């Protein structure tokens, strides 16, 4: 009887400890870093602040050196931000990084795109990667705790949305033309 009570008590303690577990979190905005998402319609155009309507943003995160997964918004299943503020900024509350302990280092990748509902299908894309510390949030505690205020440390190089695919440099084109000319000359001899 005493063993049964001891086992039940330890299970109750473990269950309440699991309920109070914290999650790794970051702020889902680029205001704190003051680095707007930029946009280039083509390789020759100058970068401007990304238009709000039709611009999608998604943050991916995970353990350092491990696989990345979409960061969910405010402990929901949503991960894609549809539309940003004019000026290239977004602010969507708190992002929860699944499977990562609170206050751990994380690899993060911010993706932005235009022209399709998903990054992989879009013709205008951009991304930037970095590593930073996360905050914690006791989401399942009763009452839920307040998430740590951890800004995204977006690299100063920022993120520019532009044409996806490889655009060859002029020197690569010139080298290709020289090779084609050499083949033509050799065939004629």
pLDDT tens-digit readout, 37-79: 999 888 888 888 888 889 999 999 999 999 999 999 886 778 9
**Bigger pLDDT: 128 or 187?**
128
CB 104 within 8 A of CB 63: yes
Is 95 domain-assigned?
yes
Two structure tokens written together for 131: 């590593």
- Asked whether residue 14 is domain-assigned, the answer is no
Sequence-distant (≥ 6) Cβ neighbours of residue 114 within 8 angstroms: 39, 50, 54, 55, 56, 122, 124, 161
pTM reported for the whole predicted model: 0.73
Domain assignment of residue 84, given as a range: 21-188
In-domain check, residue 152: yes
Q: What is the pLDDT of residue 3?
A: 53
pLDDT value at residue 22: 61
Per the domain annotation, does 94 fall within a domain? yes
The answer to the question of residue 184 being in a domain is yes
Q: Quick one: 13 exposed, middle or buried, by C-beta within 10 A (0-12, 13-18, 19+)?
A: exposed
CB 134 within 8 A of CB 152: no
Has residue 76 been placed in a domain?
yes
Q: Is 73 within a domain? A: yes
Number of domains in the chain: 1
């Amino acid at each position: 009887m005493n063993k049964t009570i001891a086992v039940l008590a330890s299970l109750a303690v473990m269950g309440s400890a699991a309920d109070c577990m914290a999650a790794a979190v970051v702020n889902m905005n680029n205001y704190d870093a003051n680095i707007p998402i930029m946009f280039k319609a083509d390789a020759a155009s100058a970068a401007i602040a990304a238009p709000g309507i039709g611009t999608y943003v998604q943050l991916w995160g995970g353990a350092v050196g491990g696989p990345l997964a979409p960061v969910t918004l405010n402990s929901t299943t949503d991960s894609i931000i549809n539309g940003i503020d004019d000026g290239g900024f977004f602010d969507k509350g708190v992002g929860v990084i699944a499977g990562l302990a609170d206050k751990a280092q994380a690899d993060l990748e911010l993706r932005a795109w235009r022209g399709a509902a998903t990054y992989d299908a879009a013709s205008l894309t951009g991304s930037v990667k970095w590593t930073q510390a996360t905050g914690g949030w006791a989401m399942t505690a009763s009452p839920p705790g307040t998430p740590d205020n951890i800004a995204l440390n977006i690299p100063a190089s920022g993120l520019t949305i532009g044409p996806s695919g490889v655009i060859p440099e002029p020197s690569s084109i010139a080298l290709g033309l020289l090779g084609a000319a050499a083949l033509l000359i050799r065939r004629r001899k």
